[in-house]
Structure 1
Amino acid sequence: MKEFFYRPDNAWMGDVIPYYEDGEFKLFYLHGWRDNYREGFDQGWHLLGTKDFVNYREEGACKIEGGTGHILKVEDIYHMFYCIFPDGKQFACHAISKDLRTWEPIPEDTFGPDGEIYELADWRDPFVFWNEEEGQYWMLIAALAKGPTNRKGCTGLLSSKDLKHWEYREPLYAPKLHVGAHECPDLFRMGDWWYLIYSSYTGRFGTFYRMSRSLNGPWITPQEEAFDGRAYYAAKSVSDGQKRYLFGWNPTKDDDLFGWNPPKAPGKDYDTWDWGGNMVVHEIIQRPDGTLSVKVPETVNSAFAEQVPAKFEGIIGDWSITDDVLLCESPYAFAGCISQEELPDLCKISATVRFSETTQGLGIMLRADKGLDIAYYITLEPERSRITFRGPIMQTEEGGKTFPYDVELERPLKLMPDQEYELKVFIDRTICEIYVGGEVALSARMYDIQHGKLAVFVSQGTVEFSRLKIETV
């Protein structure tokens, strides 16, 4: 059975370059082979079609070897901008097509950084759009701006009248925050705001956004700048004319690139993150103040419609259990209850949660054992204003001795007592996608525990879980 969250057969999903036309999302992507499937590593462009992010039509290779870029249509010609990496250098490239399938590279349009405004190093992931105000095309590119420190990562800027001859300009956005280039730049307008998206692997790792009333800036950093956590990267967006969607990948943990994986660890949960994995699509939501959040696309949400029986029994604490509500008052201790049934390998868990003031933590456990000792914990922490994901070793003595951090994955989330929060968790074998109330998304991986039950818990407080359901496709 194929995974619900898409990846190609015997390969991995790399950066997605989304394009929308004629009622279909045409998803170009970097097709990532790994040596556990085939010798060598290939980043050729492939094409995938979908209307709902559930069913996909595979079109195969586009015969373009290179890195991330952008697709735009001018009159009846499609233009592909992408990047190549010959002899350790980086160049932007141009190809054209009349059908999105057969592409003709234009070698004379290949160019690199100028060495004056931009360093002769990073120069990749071009994004091209028509700037109506200036009456010419703008290209955004992942680059390094000249400067006195190593914090040179920027969103570079060029302009052109004909998509062939480009003028180097000062960076669109160069905040001197990142040592590495601002990867996979993306730009769009929604209402009165312009939004700039980029990904970074130095400092804080993830896909971020900035907002401005003008293409000339200033580019404002929102209070929460990321769309997801560490396990979501290289995301780019596209609109179908009504909604805008964000396409990124949830990385695997199959390679030991630097030899850092724990040699005595029995599993893979604490291995390093890879490049590429499975595609995950979020829907972008604009709040009244202009800031952005993400939620699960409705087509993905509604694909899980077959309800699975879920009866619960208390394990620790005094639980009131009915068909509709799981309620527990445990102001001074931990309390939990567990389902009688095993969780399916592919399922959606949904619930509405409410908690009392002074509650320290509450949440759900995935693939839990009967003693609630071994599980993946998803925890809402009101006093720290966050949601966290922790694997099973963090609950043990070995985890306490081994890891120098408090939590594996987290996202900021303001949590108020006596309010309802809708929690949705999608499980697809090793993949875990978590959404809270159309506000926060958190991607994760679960390797070492492959079977178990669903449990819910509260730590030092009162909690009510209502409308708790397990559904599959």
Structure 2
Amino acid sequence: MREFFYRPENAWVGDVIPYYEDGEFKLFYLHGWRENYRDDLDHGWHLVGTKDFVNYQAEGACKIEGGTGHILKVDGIYHMFYCIFPPGKQLVCHAISSDLKTWEPIPEDTFAADDRIYELSDWRDPFVFWNEEEGQYWMLLAAMAKGPTKRKGCTALLSSKDLKTWEYREPLYAPNLHVGAHECPDLFRIGDWWYLIYSSYTERFATFYRMSRSLIGPWLTPKEDTFDGRAFYAAKSASDGRGRYLFGWNPTKNDDLFGWNPPKSRGKDYNTWDWGGNLIVHEIVQRPDGTLGVKVPDTVDAAFSQPQPVHYQGITGNWLITDHTFSCMSPHAFAGCTSREELPDQCKISASVSFSEQTQGVGFMLRTEDTLDEAYYFTLEPQRNRLTFRGKIMQSEEGGKTFPYEVELERPIDLFPDRPYEIKVFMDGSICEIYVDANIAMSARMYDIPHGKLGLFVSQGYAEFSDVRIEGRG
């Protein structure tokens, strides 16, 4: 069965450079061949088109060898800005096209960092937009500012009137938070707020955002400043004029690209994350206070619309089970029930979940068996205001032999008793995408348990699951 979440044949999706025109998202991306690499293959930028994030049309290579960048159209001409990596430095390059397919590089427009303001070592991922207030173009870059410590990651700023000659300026945003550059910068406006997006693999590993009433700042950090967790990276956005969407990748754990896998690992779940994977699209939602959340795009949600016949059984605890509704009072213990049927390889699980004030945990067991241990646990933890993801090793004695962490993935979320939370989980082979309300997303991978049932559980409290559904591809 072909994967639902896009990746090219025999390869992987790296950083995405989205562009929207004529009813279609034109998604340029860095093509990751990995073990299928051959010198005669086309490398660098590739293009795939989609109108709905469900169906994709691969357009092939763009004959541009380089790293992440940006596309914009000016007076009928498309401009591509991208980066290259000669020994010892990084350079920004410029190419033009009349059709988004055949690109003509302009070698004389190539330039490096100004070493009076920025380090030469990091100068990549250009993003260009027209600044109406100044009447000129601005370029943002992943860079390292000059400074006394290694916490020099910043969003560099340049300006130009003609897209050819650029003036170096002080960084747009240089908070001294990250040892690494602010990768894949992106900027957009919704209403009265400007939003700056960047990704970082130091201090934390995520795609972040900042918000400001003005392009000159100050750039405010919201209470929760990321869109997803560790398994979603290098995200950039694009709008179709109605909504704004965030395009990133869910990394694999296949290839040990960085040589950090546990040497005696019994599977893949506890391997380290690779660079690149499958394309994941979140829809950005602006909250009343201006902060941002994400939800599943409506077209992706609607693609899973075929109800699956399911029957349930209580395993431990006193469950009240009716059509699509499950509840259990278990104030001092763990209680779980399961479906009798196995989950489809590709499916959506949805439910409305509420819990009592003292509840310690409530959630889904994915691909479980009736023993309730070999499973992937997705848990709302009200006492800690977080949602977590744990694999089967954490449910066994082997958990004490792994790296010293309590959970594999977690996301902060305000959790209140007696309030329903709308949960949607999308499973596609090893890929797992979890959404809570139109608010929080968490991407994950599930390798070592390929099949199993759906389980529902509550730990030390009361929980009610209503309108529980399993739906396959329509």
Partner of 1:183: 183
CA contact (8 A) 1:18 1:27 kept: yes
CA offsets per residue over residues 186-226 of structure 1, 9 Å max, x none? 00000000000000000100000000000000000000000
CA contact (8 A) 1:365 1:456 kept: yes
- Alpha-carbon offset, residue 241 of structure 1: 0.4
Could you tell me how far apart the structure 2 residues matched to 1:42 and 1:373 are? Answer: 45
CA contact (8 A) 1:33 1:42 kept: no
What is the SS of the residue equivalent to 1:422?
strand
CA contact (8 A) 2:78 2:98 kept: yes
CA contact (8 A) 1:388 1:411 kept: yes
Partner of 2:142: 142
Q: Is 1:344 the counterpart of 2:344 in the alignment? A: yes
Partner of 1:209: 209
Q: Is 1:270 the counterpart of 2:249 in the alignment? A: no
Q: Is 1:160 the counterpart of 2:151 in the alignment? A: no
- Alpha-carbon offset, residue 369 of structure 1: 1.0
- Alpha-carbon offset, residue 42 of structure 1: 7.4
Could you tell me how far apart the structure 1 residues matched to 2:258 and 2:250 are? Answer: 20
Q: Is 1:465 the counterpart of 2:465 in the alignment? A: yes
Distance 1:358 1:268, change over 3 A: same
Could you tell me how far apart the structure 1 residues matched to 2:28 and 2:259 are? Answer: 32
Write out aligned runs for 1:403-422 (5 A).
403-422=403-422
Could you tell me how far apart the structure 1 residues matched to 2:338 and 2:136 are? Answer: 61
Structure 1: runs of 5 or more not aligned: none
Partner amino acid, structure 2, of 1:438:
A
CA offsets per residue over residues 416-466 of structure 1, 9 Å max, x none? 000000000000000000000111000000000001100000000001001
Partner of 1:335: 335
Partner of 2:356: 356
Partner of 1:261: 261
CA offsets per residue over residues 22-60 of structure 1, 9 Å max, x none? 01101011111102x234797510111100000011110
Partner of 1:38: 37
RMSD: 1.0
CA contact (8 A) 2:153 2:176 kept: yes
CA offsets per residue over residues 358-397 of structure 1, 9 Å max, x none? 0000000000011101100000000000000000001111
CA contact (8 A) 1:197 1:236 kept: yes
- Alpha-carbon offset, residue 258 of structure 1: 4.1
Partner amino acid, structure 2, of 1:425:
V
Could you tell me how far apart the structure 1 residues matched to 2:204 and 2:264 are? Answer: 28
Could you tell me how far apart the structure 1 residues matched to 2:340 and 2:85 are? Answer: 54
- Alpha-carbon offset, residue 282 of structure 1: 0.1
Partner amino acid, structure 2, of 1:309:
P
Partner of 2:116: 116
Could you tell me how far apart the structure 2 residues matched to 1:123 and 1:183 are? Answer: 10
Partner of 2:221: 221
Could you tell me how far apart the structure 1 residues matched to 2:79 and 2:258 are? Answer: 38
Could you tell me how far apart the structure 2 residues matched to 1:262 and 1:83 are? Answer: 34
Partner amino acid, structure 2, of 1:305:
S
Identity of aligned residues (%): 76
- Alpha-carbon offset, residue 263 of structure 1: 2.0
Partner amino acid, structure 1, of 2:279:
M
CA contact (8 A) 2:43 2:63 kept: no
Q: Is 1:284 the counterpart of 2:289 in the alignment? A: no
CA contact (8 A) 1:43 1:67 kept: no
Write out aligned runs for 1:232-243 (5 A).
232-243=232-243
Could you tell me how far apart the structure 2 residues matched to 1:297 and 1:402 are? Answer: 36
- Alpha-carbon offset, residue 257 of structure 1: 3.4
Partner amino acid, structure 1, of 2:229:
G
CA contact (8 A) 1:319 1:328 kept: yes
Partner amino acid, structure 1, of 2:218:
P
Number of equivalences: 472
Could you tell me how far apart the structure 1 residues matched to 2:38 and 2:165 are? Answer: 38
Could you tell me how far apart the structure 2 residues matched to 1:246 and 1:157 are? Answer: 22
Could you tell me how far apart the structure 2 residues matched to 1:200 and 1:431 are? Answer: 22
Q: Which range moved further: 81-90 or 428-437?
A: 81-90
- Alpha-carbon offset, residue 284 of structure 1: 0.1
CA offsets per residue over residues 261-291 of structure 1, 9 Å max, x none? 1222221000000000000000000001000
Structure 2: runs of 5 or more not aligned: none
Partner of 2:25: 25
Could you tell me how far apart the structure 1 residues matched to 2:156 and 2:449 are? Answer: 44
CA contact (8 A) 2:153 2:177 kept: yes
Find runs of 4+ consecutive structure 1 residues off by over 6 angstroms. Answer: none
Partner of 2:380: 380
Distance 1:42 1:63, change over 3 A: closer
- Alpha-carbon offset, residue 403 of structure 1: 2.7
What is the SS of the residue equivalent to 2:62?
strand
CA offsets per residue over residues 49-106 of structure 1, 9 Å max, x none? 1000000111100000100000000011000000001124210000000110110000
- Alpha-carbon offset, residue 136 of structure 1: 0.5
Could you tell me how far apart the structure 1 residues matched to 2:375 and 2:237 are? Answer: 34
- Alpha-carbon offset, residue 254 of structure 1: 1.4
Could you tell me how far apart the structure 1 residues matched to 2:135 and 2:247 are? Answer: 29
Could you tell me how far apart the structure 1 residues matched to 2:261 and 2:48 are? Answer: 33
Partner amino acid, structure 2, of 1:86:
P
Write out aligned runs for 1:163-174 (5 A).
163-174=163-174
Partner amino acid, structure 1, of 2:255:
D
What is the SS of the residue equivalent to 1:301?
helix
CA contact (8 A) 1:43 1:65 kept: yes
Partner of 2:62: 62
Distance 1:43 1:141, change over 3 A: farther
Partner amino acid, structure 2, of 1:317:
G
- Alpha-carbon offset, residue 309 of structure 1: 1.0
Q: Is 1:10 the counterpart of 2:10 in the alignment? A: yes
CA offsets per residue over residues 212-262 of structure 1, 9 Å max, x none? 000000000000000000000000000000100000000001122343212
Give the TM-score normalised by the residue count of structure 1: 0.99
Could you tell me how far apart the structure 2 residues matched to 1:235 and 1:273 are? Answer: 16
Partner amino acid, structure 1, of 2:402:
T
Partner of 2:99: 99
CA contact (8 A) 1:377 1:390 kept: yes
